[in-house]
Amino acid sequence: MAKQDGKIKKLLSKIEADKKKLGTKPRLSWNTNCMFRYDDSNRLNLNTVKDTGVLVDALAFLLGKQAARDEAATRLGVKLQSFKWFGYSLKDWEDDFKLKAQTIEWNAQQKKLVALQSQLKELRSEDAKTDEALSDIEKMLG
């Protein structure tokens, strides 16, 4: 069993390194009010989005609106002010979508690492678990 304990220890060390590399959770500092609307009846709250596909669809919608608006202005020969959607610029929406996507990805990666770590700790032999517990107690006692 010692062979597996050594392998488990190496994998646990890799997981710890991956957790460090992952860093802290992105801080949510919004540019918008987080209430994206396709129209008056179809809305989504960025705080509750759990699927990056929803963010991709929302940004694609805005890019389409902006492109259509720019094309219409060109055809009519008029100059328009910058594109805004419900009071916020395309850049504000895009930055908020990116931030939320990063948070979703961070949460998924963190969840995966914690699950793997837990699974590996369960696979250790009783001797390895006892050694770790004794080591922890020694650290607490100084």
| Domain range list for the chain | 2-141
3-state secondary structure of 28: coil
pLDDT tens-digit readout, 31-58 = 999 999 999 899 999 999 999 999 999 9
What is the band of 64 on the pLDDT scale with cuts at 50, 70, 90?
Answer: very high
Average pLDDT over residues 111-136: 91
- The angle at the Cα of 69, spanning 67 to 70, to the nearest 5 degrees, equals 65
Identity (one letter) of the amino acid at 139? K
Cα distance between the two ends of the chain:
30
Alpha-carbon span 87 to 70, nearest angstrom: 18
pLDDT tens-digit readout, 1-30 = 577 888 998 999 999 999 999 999 999 999
pLDDT at 108: 96
